[in-house]
Structure 1
């Protein structure tokens, strides 16, 4: 196992309401070691690690209230009781499925690490997730959004915020990458000669993704006219390799980008979409609509399972059915 340096802080920040864990070093140490495992052996993203921490911390706090002081004292009854309590507090089926998954991963790790002799979650039934088709923008809505931002840039060609916004929209829609992948891009990630860029996805897996010409044009405008305005604001005066930076000259974070996208999306008619993921859904759906092979779409999106990608075939069928019902006189 790759050990962190002594300068790295690994102690997890406990979610609010779980301060009871501070009183039990056994559980805290287990959680800290589990976080190390997720980060250095499984290469999970910060977002995924935070979700695991939240679930396991909440469960441990519950176990403490039930009188458990050792991991070995936790059994399937206690696990089911906690899940039942979450259900009683109106947790959705998707949330319960995530909680169950977190507990399975944690206790499988604990058993393998020798912290427990038997995994209490082996016979835990997995709640079925609710199936919701993702929201998708149609091609006209995408174009409307791009036109609006482009008009604002035409009015002020050196508006760094809009130059970044246009580049972000074009790249997200052109490639279907995740917002977390976009903010981790560096200037060196782009291969202009081949119109591609390298993405580091979930599980630290690298893939090469093509970029369309409009995305490359928007990106060039950002790099040449927008980025230099903010780059000089870096308080440390250091070279920032990030492709997308914020007004202070540092790497942009996902929250900043997501908020800008949501504000822009609110101006689009007939949609309640927000955030960045709608561009990933839209890109995948339009690829399938255009006849792209489902396995090619899987590779582009970085899905480990084909089943995850196949949701977009369902979206396309639903869109086709809705169009038929609206347009055909005998539908």
Structure 2
């Protein structure tokens, strides 16, 4: 089996587990990636800018929607390769971006987030609470409280949360480091969980083979959703990251601050969250604009 075939299988496995992609979506991704790999004679995973330009030239007769889908498939594939450390650079800027509206991120309401935490508190208050419940609490506090990517969370070193230091140093996409604030309650949740992690462990969330996998993290969160009475189709680690960003913006955070917190290299990536303020702005205009008063002389 070629490296491309191995990487494509791992990527699709991640897509199915972490994002809940449907069979049709997975099939479309596989088709796009395998076609590109065939064109590259099995060396898609090593493609540079020039190679991608040659691939996109082959798409010249396709509709914009097809080009957009293929570009998205390859872009996410190269993002996966970087996150997993299979390559150090990202050639995807060479891919075309046909005019197409970006899908808005899935988000959870404040009420749904509250139900998740209420479910966790119920587990922790049980006299028969297990270490797994403490791990769950730490995972959710960091996902929703700090907006970490799933890959960043599962690979946190055991000593990443120290004493009363109010931040984490996280290594994100492309190996870039950033400071991520951590709340008092998150530090407390991590501290309670760390008591069950052997001091010789390298990772905060260890497993038999290293650290907790993203697939296992996804399963843990889905199980929590079921217990909280929330459709598991609505939730994933990335959805909790979206909720972190969305609710911060609703609370008054500006886009630049959000960009830093999320570790986005381009502000345009962060701008997708501006949709969340639309309802609040409409309500603001309806309730506060002078023309909506019955008597403008008052």
Q: Same fold per TM (> 0.5)?
A: yes
> What are the residue-to-residue correspondences of 1:151-300 with 2, within 5 Å?
151-156=122-127, 158-224=129-195, 226-228=196-198, 239-246=200-207, 248=208, 250-268=210-228, 272-300=233-261
Unpaired runs of at least 5, structure 2:
9-17, 19-28, 42-50, 80-92, 287-291, 293-298
> What are the residue-to-residue correspondences of 1:1-331 with 2, within 5 Å?
13-15=3-5, 58-62=35-39, 79-81=56-58, 94-99=68-73, 125-156=96-127, 158-224=129-195, 226-228=196-198, 239-246=200-207, 248=208, 250-268=210-228, 272-318=233-279, 321=282
* Larger gyration radius, structure 1 or structure 2: 1
SS at match of 1:292: coil
1:95 Cα deviation after fit: 2.8
1:55 Cα deviation after fit: 6.0
TM-score scaled by length of structure 1: 0.61
Over 3 Å counting, the alpha-carbon distance change for 1:82 and 1:320 in structure 2 is: same
Over 3 Å counting, the alpha-carbon distance change for 1:196 and 1:84 in structure 2 is: same
Deviations 1:166-219 (CA, angstroms, capped at 9, x unpaired): 110111111111000001110222233322111001110101111111211211
The residue aligned with 2:15 is none
The CA RMSD measured in Å over matched residues stands at 4.1
TM-score scaled by length of structure 2: 0.67
2-side partners of 1:266 and 1:61: how far apart? 41
Unpaired runs of at least 5, structure 1:
1-10, 19-46, 65-73, 106-120, 232-238
1:281 Cα deviation after fit: 0.6
